[in-house]
Structure 1
Amino acid sequence: MSFLRTALASAPRVAALSATSASSSSSSRLASTSVRAISTISPRAGVQQSPRLASSSTRPTIPFSSSSSSLQISIRSLSTETRSKLDDITKSAPLVLFMKGNPDMPMCGFSRAVVQILDVQGVNLKKMKTVNVLEDEEVRHGVKEYSDWPTIPQVYVGGEFVGGCDIMLNMHQSGELEELLVKNGLITDSNPQSTETPAQS
């Protein structure tokens, strides 16, 4: 009987020891798991990463592709080629007109107006070169950058940019256009000054 009482009295202590051991084992596993989790935290971002992401962060960085640099170089090269092309065109004749369409069939009212102004001024068509920008997108957009002028038509005289439709109309009305055309040999002076000495009576 005394043995039974001793066994019953010691049972709570055994249960407590078992619970303590189980708790200790669980805490040990939890601590081990926490250590592994902490080891995967990025020191820079301070956020937890998965082991796969953590291992990938140690891989060597692949250099950024230079395709964008090559594209920029090709654009600059194209711009240079276009500029050289426009240099040749603007100097290919005493007067060069960039327009939409051609003198016989202008494709916009502003181009038609410039053709009419030059016709009224009496410009010799053999001394004038026209460029239909609708046939060449590179020239159509490039000439605007070339002259720093946003619209078509554009007129060049002696290789120099004169202006578009509004400027040509203003110069025509003021007489400046006639002077410019005479100076560049595109028309003859309509009011030549006489160099003859008046006859004495």
Structure 2
Amino acid sequence: MEFPPNQGLDQDEVDEQVEDVIENNEVVLFMKGTELMPQCGYSRKALGLIDSHRDEFETVDVLDSLAEFRAALEDYSGWETIPQTFVDGEFVGGSDVLEELEERGELAETLNAE
């Protein structure tokens, strides 16, 4: 049995999705994998930190179109690494920044946690 190569989204579709998700969700985590199956340690760490403060947030699995998501997110954040967290349309950072905010006791406030 043969599997076709990755049939990801084209750049325009990814650009549109990134813009829509950032604009229409209070907190968004662009990550490798899903909430149930993170596919890298940094994504798992970022997911755990956000999840410890918020019940509701959006996640986007970037793996099907990784190069396109990197390009689209770099336009918003200036970063091409994944994961990336946005709150109220503003780029916050990756797992390292979330961890620093947690250590300083600022992550809950940054995430607008109630």
Specify the TM-score bucket, using the shorter chain as the normaliser. 0.7 to 0.9
- Tell me the distance in 2 between the aligned counterparts of 1:83 and 1:146: 10
Give me the identity figure in percent. Answer: 39
Is this contact kept in 2: 1:134–1:140, CA < 8 A? Answer: no
The offset of 1:140, in angstroms, is 3.7
Say whether 1:173 aligns with 2:110.
no
Letter in 2 for 1:152: I
Name the CA distance, whole Å, in 2 between partners of 1:150 and 1:106. 18
Normalised TM-score (structure 2): 0.78
CA RMSD of aligned residues (A): 2.1
Residue 113 (structure 1) aligned with residue 45 (structure 2): yes
Q: Is the Cα–Cα contact under 8 Å of residues 83 and 146 in structure 1 kept in the other structure?
A: no
* Larger RCO: 1 or 2 (CA < 8 Å, sep 6+): 2
Deviation at 1:136, TM superposition (A): 2.3
One of 80, 91, 99 as aligned partner of 1:161: 91
Q: Is the Cα–Cα contact under 8 Å of residues 90 and 156 in structure 1 kept in the other structure?
A: yes
Map of 1:38-187 to 2, 5 A cutoff? 83-121=15-53, 123-124=54-55, 127-137=56-66, 138-182=68-112, 187=113
**Radius of gyration: which is bigger?**
1
Residues in 2 aligned to 1:112 and 1:97: alpha-carbon distance in whole angstroms: 11
- Return structure 1 stretches of 4+ with deviation > 4 angstroms: 78-84
1:149–1:133 Cα change, 3 Å: same
Determine which structure has the larger helix proportion and give its number. Answer: 1
**How big is the shift at 1:84?**
4.3
**Cα shift readout 1:75-109 (whole Å, capped 9, x = no counterpart):** xxx87775444221212211110000011110000
Kept in 1, the 8 Å contact 2:70–2:80? The answer is no
Structure 1 unaligned residues grouped into runs of 5+:
1-77, 189-201
Letter in 1 for 2:64: E
Distance 2:80 2:11 in 1: 17
